Amino acid sequence: MESFKKRIVSSPPKPREEIEEMNAYSAPLEGRRNFLRLDFNENTIGPSPKVLDAIHKIPPNQISIYPEYSGLREAITRNLNSSTIQNKLQADQIELFNGVDGAIHAIFHAYASKGDLLLTTVPTFGYYNPCAKMQGMKILEVPYEGPSFDFPLNAIKESLIRNHPKILIICNPNNPTGTRTSAKKILELAKASPQTLVVIDELYEAFLGDSLLSVVNFSKTSNLVVLRSLSKTSGLAGLRIGFGISNQEVIHRIKKVTGPYDINSFAVAAAFASLEDQEYTDNYVQEVLKARTWIQQKLLNHGVKHHIDGGNYFLLWPKKSSTEVESSLKAKGILIRNMKNKPFIEGSLRVSIGTTAQMKQFWEALKKSDSI
């Protein structure tokens, strides 16, 4: 009995070696409710009233039973096919996920083994790294080029040829640099590297992006996945729903690693309503693009060091430390994202673009911070 007790105390179960060695995704996620939130590139006005209506109308028995997804893939397919797509999509080329985060996790889980190589860019979205590490992958990061953070096309090409990575992931437009990469060039990369799964995170595509969906034919291209979400444009970030779009065979494989009910009934009802009110989403995107022009003009007129390209965000280098300006804006009720310790953009702030009124509020607070 004595030795049994000792054994229990001295040898708790060990997680996989990869888990012990990795760091979890970390971001300042809490305590954001009462601020103007320009820190996570979210929709800053909320979803369509039709979404709220659909959620209110959910009957109790839809909450007490497991969610049903029937018709949702078809609704997404119709929605995507109504945009400028050369080769129309089919419903079995789409899978639903608990946000694009869920899709990224599932793709790495399905495709990457210990020792495989991930090729990606730097700086980029912070969740690719932990997903690769949890599979025990090695990571090769190619920096964006020059002061305008251009896409490192030749370096990526060379690395694909030399290293044969298992996965290449590109965020397009890239978070946080806004770098836009030509869809045609990405398609050429994918065609030239059939041994690599090329994943294109198009979360911010609606904000001046160039979508792969407009050029790819998934029936002929079997190593490409496009990721989309209703988080940022449609204002459903809190409900968690995203999509992966690919060749049927890839979708079939990724589906194997998802749970049967990963997306909840509220997200399903909201997604149907949101997809039916595309006009609301389009109007919001237009408002953000107007606000983008407004703030860009202010930054240029005042000679503020900044970088603005695709996406609903921009980078700004204040004259004071990024931490000092972050605190000053927070004291005025505004959250932005401090890029402290981020390679290549150290000292900058990433500011999400909302409505013009919100950008005016931000601009006034920034001027008062005495840092531009």
**Chain positions contacting ligand PLP, by CB under 6 A:** 40-41, 99-101, 125, 171, 175, 201, 203, 229, 231, 237, 242
Phi and psi at residue 274, in whole multiples of 5°? -65, -40
Nearest-angstrom CA–CA distance, 269 and 249: 28
Q: CB of residue 124 vs ligand PLP: minimum separation in angstroms? A: 8
Closer residue to ligand PLP (CB): 175 or 265: 175
Q: Which of 127, 198, 126, 183 is nearest to 151 (CA)?
A: 183
CB-based burial label for 25 (10 Å; 0-12, 13-18, 19+): middle
CB-based contact 182:210 (threshold 8 Å): yes
Closer residue to ligand PLP (CB): 307 or 369: 307
Q: CB of residue 296 vs ligand PLP: minimum separation in angstroms? A: 21
Closer residue to ligand PLP (CB): 99 or 209: 99
Q: Is 169 helix (H, G, I), strand (E, B) or coil?
A: strand
Parallel, antiparallel, or unpaired for β 138-143 and 224-229?
unpaired
Closer residue to ligand PLP (CB): 207 or 218: 207
Q: CB of residue 203 vs ligand PLP: minimum separation in angstroms? A: 4
Q: CB of residue 132 vs ligand PLP: minimum separation in angstroms? A: 14
Closer residue to ligand PLP (CB): 38 or 304: 38
Compute how many other C-beta atoms are within 10 angstroms of the C-beta atom of residue 224.
24
Classify residue 165 by its DSSP letter. Answer: -
Q: CB of residue 8 vs ligand PLP: minimum separation in angstroms? A: 39
Phi and psi at residue 225, in whole multiples of 5°? -130, 135
Closer residue to ligand PLP (CB): 40 or 294: 40
Closer residue to ligand PLP (CB): 205 or 326: 205
Q: CB of residue 267 vs ligand PLP: minimum separation in angstroms? A: 11
Rounded alpha-carbon distances, angstroms, from residue 14 to 31, 98, 132: 33, 28, 20
Tokens 């799964």 sit on residue = 197
Please identify the residue of the shown chain whose CB is closest to the bound ligand PLP: 99
Q: CB of residue 236 vs ligand PLP: minimum separation in angstroms? A: 8
DSSP string, 324-337: HHHHHHHHTTEEEE
